[in-house]
Structure 1
Amino acid sequence: MDLTAAYGFRMDWIVSFVAVARHGGFSAAAKATFRSQSRISEHIAELEKALGVQLFDRTTHPTGLTPEGRALVPHAEEILNRLNDLASAGGEVRFGTYPSAAAWLFPQVVRRLPAEIRLHLVEGPSIDLEGALGRGDVDLAIRPVHPLVALESLHHEILWTEPLVAVFQDGHPLAAAPEVSLGELAELPLISIGETSGVRQFESHLAFASAGLNPESVFRTNQPQTLLSLVRHGLGTGVTNALAVTTANITGVRLVPISDSGVERQVALFVHRDRPRTPALDQVITAVRAVPPPTWPSG
C-alpha cells in the first residue's frame, strides 16, 4: 500500500478493531473505549470495506476473529504501540485537578520533574474530573474520593487526608473558640462546598448526615475563594475541607476545628487502568507520590 492509500484509513477504525479483538466483543469494546456500540460497529464495517475482507465472524458468540482478522491484529497493535511511543517521546502529560489541589500540589510536582516533561494543568470542579479522565481529556486526575466515581475503569490511590473546618467571620461569637461541634454549626446559616442542585455526597454533607443532622445551606459553591468572601461579608458560616481554605486568602475570617466531624476528606490520584502508561506519565505519578502530604494547624 502506498502512502496516498493510507490516507483513506482512519485511526479510530484501528482503535475500535483492536478493542473488539482484545475485549472479545462489540459491547465490551464500546465500554472500554467510551464509545457507543453502534459507533464501534460502524468503525469495523468501514475498516472491513476499506480492506475488502471480513475481520469478525458475527455468527459466533462471543464474536470471533476470522483468519484475516487474526492476521491483522499484530499489525494494528503495532500501529497503536508506535503512536504511543511517539506520544511518550514528546513527554506531555495532562494533569487534571481541582483548584485548591492545583494551588498546593501542582507547583511541587513541576519542580520534581525533568525539563523535558511538559505538564499541562487542567483545572476543574472535582465532579467534572471523572468524565475528563474517562474521555481521555486528562492523563491523571487528583480529586477527592467523595463524591464516589461511577466508572469502574478508574483506579485510585489515597495521597492524603484532611479535616473539615468551620470558617467564621472575624468578630463572630464562635470565631475565637478552640473548636466547634456539628450541633452548634447546624443552628447557623451555613455555606458549604458542593453543587447548587442535585444530591452529591460531599464530605461536609456526610458529616452532618452521620450525626443525624440535616442543616440547610444558604449558599453552596465549588470555589473556596467564593466561600471565604461570603463568610467575610457576614452571609453565613463556612464548612469545608482544610486545604481549600489554607491555600486561599483568609483575611477577615477565622478557621476553627470541628470537634466531632467524624469525616475527613480523602484526596487520591486517579488513573485509567485500561490505558497504556507512558514513561512520562510514570514519572509524573512518581513525582506526585514524592510530595509529602500537607499538614494543618493544630487549632
Structure 2
Amino acid sequence: MDLDAVRTFVAAADAGQFAEAAAELAVTQQAVSKRIAALERNLGVRLFTRTARGAELTIDGQAFLPHARELLRVAERAVASVGTGRRPLRVDVIASRVAPSGLMRGFHRAHPEVDLDVVMLFDIESAVAAIRSGAIDASFRAVAMPGQPLPEDIESVRVLDEPLQLLTGPAHALAGARSVTVAQLAGHRIWMPGIVPGTEWAAYYDDLVAEYGLTIEATGPNFGSDALLDTVADTPALATFMGEHTRLVWPAGHGLRRIPVTDPTPVYPHSILWHRDNSHPGLTTLRSHLAATTAGHDAAGTWTPGWVLPR
C-alpha cells in the first residue's frame, strides 16, 4: 500500500478539504486527488464524497481512518528502529571469558546509555563478513594474519596487548616460580587443545613456537576450559598458556598457579575492527572509551609476531 496515499488520505480527512490537505503536504490539489483516487482503486471503495463544504468521509472512509493512522504510526516506528543510534551496538567478543568480553563489560559500566548486543563469532572470516554486511558493528581480533590482509573497507586499531601467563598444577616443575622466562619454558609440554588451524590465535602460537623453540601441543578433543583446568591440575607434565585478562574459576583443591612469563613477555594483540562507513554513534563512543582506558602497545620487553599491525 502506498504510504504517501495513506498519508494524503489522513490529511484530507482531518482537513475536510483537498485544498487544505494539499497545502499541508506541500503538493498540488491535483496530486491529492490522484493519490486519493489511486487509494480508492486499491481498496475497491469510495473514501470521500464531495460536498459544498469540501470532502466528507464515507462510511468506508470512516472505517478505514483509524487503521490508516495506525499504518502511519507503524511506518514511523519502523523508520525509527533503524535510525542512527536507535538500534543496539552489536559487538563480537569471540568468547565470554576472554579479554574482549572484559573490555565490553567495562564499556557498559562506563556508558550504560549505549544499548549493546554482544555476539560471539569463532573465526576472523566470519567476523569480517558480518562487519561488511552490517550484521555487527565491530569485532575484536588479532590482525592481520599472514596472507590474509584486511579488506580496504575495514578499519582497525590496536587496543590492548594482553600478557600471556603460564598456568600449571601444583606438582608441575615450575609451579613454585614467581615468574618464568621464555627460555625456561623450552622442553616443557604446553597443552592447548583449543588451537584451531587457520585461526589468528593458531598463527600467533605458530610464530611463538618458531621464535623460541617451545613445545605446544594441540592434540585431543577440546572439551572446554573446565576440562583443560582439570587436566592441568592433575597432570604434572602439562601446563597451558592463559591470557592475563582471561577470567577463569576453578575448585580450590586444584591448586593451579598463574605465572607471569618474561624476557620477553609474549603479548596477544587485541584490535577492534569496524567498517569505515559505519556511522553508529555508539561505535564512536566505544572507540573513544577504548582509546582512553586501555594500555599502550609494543612496550619494551614484550613480543608479538611480525605480522601484527602496529597501529
Same fold (TM over 0.5): yes
Question: Residues 91 and 119 of structure 2 are in contact (CA less than 8 Å); yes or no, is this contact kept in structure 1?
Answer: yes
Matched, 1:206 2:207: yes
Aligned mates of 2:135, 2:230 — CA distance in 1: 32
**3-state SS of 2:173 partner:** coil
Structure 1 residues not aligned, in runs of 5+: 6-81, 295-299
**3-state SS of 1:173 partner:** coil
Question: Residues 191 and 218 of structure 2 are in contact (CA less than 8 Å); yes or no, is this contact kept in structure 1?
Answer: yes
Once the two structures are aligned, what percentage of the paired residues are identical? 21
Question: Residues 141 and 270 of structure 2 are in contact (CA less than 8 Å); yes or no, is this contact kept in structure 1?
Answer: yes
Alpha-carbon distance, 1:169 to partner: 0.8
1:222–1:137 CA distance, 2 compared to 1 (3 A)? farther
What is the aligned partner in structure 2 of residue 238 from structure 1?
240
**Larger Rg computed on CA atoms:** 2
1:130–1:86 CA distance, 2 compared to 1 (3 A)? closer
Q: Deviations over 1:97-145 (max 9, x none)?
A: 1221354222211122253x31101123354433332333210112233
User: Which of structure 1's runs of 4+ aligned residues deviate more than 6 A?
Assistant: 82-85
Of 274, 295, 302, the match for 1:271 = 274
Question: Residues 146 and 266 of structure 1 are in contact (CA less than 8 Å); yes or no, is this contact kept in structure 2?
Answer: no
1:140–1:197 CA distance, 2 compared to 1 (3 A)? closer
Length-normalised TM-score, structure 1: 0.59
1:181–1:195 CA distance, 2 compared to 1 (3 A)? same
**3-state SS of 2:262 partner:** coil
Alpha-carbon distance, 1:179 to partner: 2.8
Aligned mates of 1:224, 1:293 — CA distance in 2: 27
Of 93, 100, 105, the match for 1:97 = 93
Correspondence 1:152-167 to 2 at 5 A:
152=151, 153-167=153-167
Question: Residues 188 and 238 of structure 2 are in contact (CA less than 8 Å); yes or no, is this contact kept in structure 1?
Answer: yes
Length-normalised TM-score, structure 2: 0.57
Alpha-carbon distance, 1:266 to partner: 1.1
What is the aligned partner in structure 2 of residue 45 from structure 1?
none
**3-state SS of 2:192 partner:** strand
Question: Residues 142 and 269 of structure 2 are in contact (CA less than 8 Å); yes or no, is this contact kept in structure 1?
Answer: yes
Aligned mates of 1:272, 1:3 — CA distance in 2: 33
**3-state SS of 2:104 partner:** helix
Aligned mates of 1:165, 1:219 — CA distance in 2: 22
Aligned mates of 1:107, 1:190 — CA distance in 2: 30
What is the aligned partner in structure 2 of residue 281 from structure 1?
283
Amino acid at match of 1:232: A
Matched, 1:113 2:91: no
Correspondence 1:251-270 to 2 at 5 A:
251=252, 252=254, 253-261=256-264, 263-270=266-273
**3-state SS of 1:243 partner:** coil
Structure 2 residues not aligned, in runs of 5+: 6-77, 297-311
Aligned mates of 1:199, 1:90 — CA distance in 2: 34
**3-state SS of 1:106 partner:** helix
Q: Deviations over 1:232-276 (max 9, x none)?
A: 2427210233222xx211552111222345632111111112x23
